Structure 1
Amino acid sequence: MAHTHMYTVDPALPEPGGHGLRLRAWDAGSDADAELWRRGHLDPDFRRWNTPLKLWTDLAGAREALRARARDAADGRSVTFRVTDESGTTLGEIGLGEISRQLKTARVGYWVLPEARGRGVATRALLLASRWACAELGLHRLELGHAVGHDASCRVAERSGYRAEGTLREAMFEAGRHDAFRDVHLHARLATDEEPTPPGAR
């Protein structure tokens, strides 16, 4: 594919940074990265609102999941970032999935480790990733869906300039199940929308 390089996170390129954060590639060969990723996915709050197709519970599974994300990035299907502070401490993850170069769209998802919550990490990371997606990938429309009732995620979306557009009926799995569904609030932001001021900006 002629354009796959546009979606990969090249270590030689400057990492997206700003708002006190850096967006870095996960390292599937790092036990520390795999353990942090595993811990994020086993967190009860993550599991309440997200139901992965496969839940990895051990380090080997976490490493395989990170390798799969690297392959998806190389193929231009998605990009997944490890969110860190300026010192390199991992705070969570933000990713762009279902990237369509033809339609200039993608779906955004994120999670924050329990110890990093309450500091505007998700909002700042979403602002950073959104700007990067529009500037570097040339995307026009970014969509964000969260389970109805997930008020914290709704606030992150709104603070990041993702307008509420409606409710998608039974568009995601119920917690811990693949045989039952729940409604989703759809938010979206366009490249032409004004970028909000990040929380705590001076």
Structure 2
Amino acid sequence: MTDVKRNSPAPPDSSRELHGHGLRLCSWDVRSREHVEAWLRGLTDPDFRQWNTPLKTVDNWEDALASMRSKAAGVANGTNASFRITDAESGGTLGHIGVNEIDHVLRVARVGYWILPEVRGRGVASRALALTARWALTDLGLNRLELGHALGHEASCRIAERCGFPFEGTLRGAMFEAGRKDVFRDVHLHARIASDPEPEIP
């Protein structure tokens, strides 16, 4: 593994690829019809919308393009890292994982992900999270990586615990209710720090 100087975090590299656990994590391409279509399906999926309320809702192709370009801008300015989760053998898109709100001074960020409905139940989220967390807490130079999910989202709770993100507490009224921007709900906060032991992921 690359030696990391903890006092000088490296900015995200948009061309970086992560490999492991049967996955290849690579960049999204706004010029690819397949990529945009997968992004649109991911963000319009009813299960995604049950647990997430983005500041800008994605409803159509144009919205998906704008959302992808916004993510790319964040990668360019160093505030986030965005990965397309793919199957290492077929190259097919499985979902998305991002390291967001990167603070290079405090060396902290938040991780979030979504998985396409047809590949859920195969451990994709756990494997992608383990791979991304290892990179963020070593190569990217972060000390702390947080994961928050809406209260009641038990699947996300299990994934976080499995990947070495213990539950730290409940943040009251910390995110929008599903489909609303005038009502708030509580969030479970999980986090992993660089000195935590590496979890074993099948």
TM range (shorter): over 0.9
Ranges in structure 1 where 5+ consecutive residues have no aligned partner: none
> Using the alignment, how far apart are the partners of 2:196 and 2:9 within structure 1?
27
AA of the residue aligned to 2:70: A
What is the 5 A alignment of 1:68-107?
68-86=70-88, 87-107=90-110
Runs of 4+ aligned structure 1 residues displaced above 6 Å come to none
Q: Deviations over 1:142-161 (max 9, x none)?
A: 00000000000000000000
Following superposition, the deviation at residue 6 of structure 1 comes to 2.4
Following superposition, the deviation at residue 30 of structure 1 comes to 1.0
Following superposition, the deviation at residue 60 of structure 1 comes to 2.0
Ranges in structure 2 where 5+ consecutive residues have no aligned partner: 1-7
> Using the alignment, how far apart are the partners of 2:143 and 2:149 within structure 1?
20
How many residues of Structure 1 are paired with residues of Structure 2 in the alignment?
Answer: 194
- SS in structure 2 of the partner of residue 135 of structure 1: coil
Greater RCO (Cα-Cα under 8 Å, separation 6 or more): 2
Following superposition, the deviation at residue 85 of structure 1 comes to 0.7
Q: Deviations over 1:89-144 (max 9, x none)?
A: 11111001110110010001011111110011000000000011112210010000
- SS in structure 1 of the partner of residue 41 of structure 2: helix
Q: Which residue of 2 aligns with 1:174?
A: 177
Q: Deviations over 1:64-101 (max 9, x none)?
A: 21111111101011111110111211111100111011
Following superposition, the deviation at residue 4 of structure 1 comes to 10
> Using the alignment, how far apart are the partners of 2:125 and 2:194 within structure 1?
19
> Using the alignment, how far apart are the partners of 1:103 and 1:30 within structure 2?
35
Structure 2 contact 82–97 (Cα < 8 Å) conserved = yes
Structure 2 contact 23–128 (Cα < 8 Å) conserved = yes
> Using the alignment, how far apart are the partners of 2:83 and 2:29 within structure 1?
10
Q: Which residue of 1 aligns with 2:5?
A: none
Residue of structure 2 aligned with 1:141, choices 126, 139, 144:
144
TM-score (normalizing by structure 1): 0.93
Structure 1 contact 29–63 (Cα < 8 Å) conserved = no
Q: Does the alignment pair 1:185 with 2:196?
A: no
Taking only aligned residues, the RMSD between alpha carbons, in angstroms, comes to 1.3
Structure 2 contact 144–194 (Cα < 8 Å) conserved = yes
Structure 2 contact 79–103 (Cα < 8 Å) conserved = yes
TM-score (normalizing by structure 2): 0.93
Q: Does the alignment pair 1:36 with 2:41?
A: no
Percent identical residues:
58
Q: Deviations over 1:30-65 (max 9, x none)?
A: 111011000001100000000001112111221121
